[in-house]
Structure 1
């Protein structure tokens, strides 16, 4: 298990996603912090607005992966000595299909407006950039529609993929946390939907995510 290495900063949404998955599976790993911001003043790459490959590199012996969601799928299927280890991709064909459906919703529908809102609501001003109000409104409306669908789904089940915590929920943690902790407008989008708010409180209180937040506080990055 000690062969697993993660390269990047915990403040990166991609890195945070991978670290949460590793903590959920209780796997040993080595985090090698690579500070891509040192000596540079540019848009944070963890927002994935410039670097389409993301901001994480995962290595397990000779196997190397770069996409955080693919890394999480790999980790979810990682063999462990504990048979009770969480089944983050579900426990059957139908459950896995449901998890994959919500993972796709996260990557294609939730992340794009979330990343834009995080940048313009939380990081633009500290960087000396004027937030674009038109972009904020457009993405706020888009994310509201996504969260309305989530709220309906979460009225029927404890989590997005069903009644157990899976990658479908885990993958939402990094951007949701920035929206909840750095922006009143972002926080209202979650808190105005009772099922989404309940879901967020539950997934954000998991020990795996709290460990990631501790790592982020140890190395907070440039902002």
Structure 2
């Protein structure tokens, strides 16, 4: 059922009204399960699955075999022409990019499961968004390089570029030094509750803790405590299950 213009309240409440409408059609027993196209070893797939798990949402996983290049062929390219996973399907609606998927799910199901953003306070939301962007622009670039060089390349039979690793480590150390100071006075990056700001860090952290770069996290007590806390979440452990 659509929404007629006459059904919409004044402009000041339209955003609230539309969000309520979006959430209401996702109630249990309403829309069928989500479909998530991904790969069991894809860190970005883990991110989207973690949000689905945190929110307690039903979903069906469709494996896209990255090793055989299935993501670069039809019919997957008709789902995401950029040839990347994950992709979320909500009925006929398709959404790519793990962070976009995560915020969509959190917004659509704000009252379900874990509350991963504060939708009531603009200031609290502002702090959460700040740390979300810090992850994207400060943490993700160096941690992705280290993840690829130290965790992914060995699995592919490729040689690690140790010169690049040595150049990248100080960049991640600089970010983690800021995190250490923040986490001395806060349980999580954006406050006292687990949010998307923390969750977005999990994929690269998961892999880096199995590489020499784990020392960067372990030698910073507050960061180490935070890492142990967020990686132990049941929703995250379920997301990392590669038995598809």
- For the criterion TM > 0.5, the same-fold answer is yes
**Alpha-carbon shift at residue 159 of structure 1 (Å):** 0.2
- Paired with 1:55 and 1:69, the residues of 2 have a C-alpha distance of 12
TM-score, length-normalised on structure 2?
0.78
**Alpha-carbon shift at residue 52 of structure 1 (Å):** 7.3
- Paired with 2:218 and 2:82, the residues of 1 have a C-alpha distance of 30
In the other structure, the counterpart of 1:164 is 193
Q: What is the CA deviation profile of residues 1-25 of structure 1, one whole-angstrom value per residue up to 9, with x for unaligned ones?
A: 5331100113211110000000000
Q: Tell me, what secondary structure is at the counterpart of 2:35? A: strand
In the other structure, the counterpart of 1:18 is 48
Structure 1 residue runs of 4 or more that deviate by more than 4 Å after TM superposition: 51-54
Establish whether residue 104 from structure 1 lines up as the match of residue 133 from structure 2. yes
- Paired with 1:100 and 1:65, the residues of 2 have a C-alpha distance of 20
In the other structure, the counterpart of 2:216 is 189
Distance 1:53 1:73, change over 3 A: farther
Q: Tell me, what secondary structure is at the counterpart of 1:7? A: strand
In the other structure, the counterpart of 2:35 is 5
In the other structure, the counterpart of 2:20 is none
TM-score, length-normalised on structure 1?
0.84
- Paired with 2:127 and 2:82, the residues of 1 have a C-alpha distance of 26
Structure exhibiting the larger radius of gyration computed from Cα positions: 2
Equivalent pairs counted in the alignment come to: 203
CA RMSD of aligned residues (A): 2.0
**Unaligned segments of structure 2, at least 5 residues:** 1-30, 71-80
In the other structure, the counterpart of 2:150 is 121
* More deviation, 7-16/120-129: 120-129
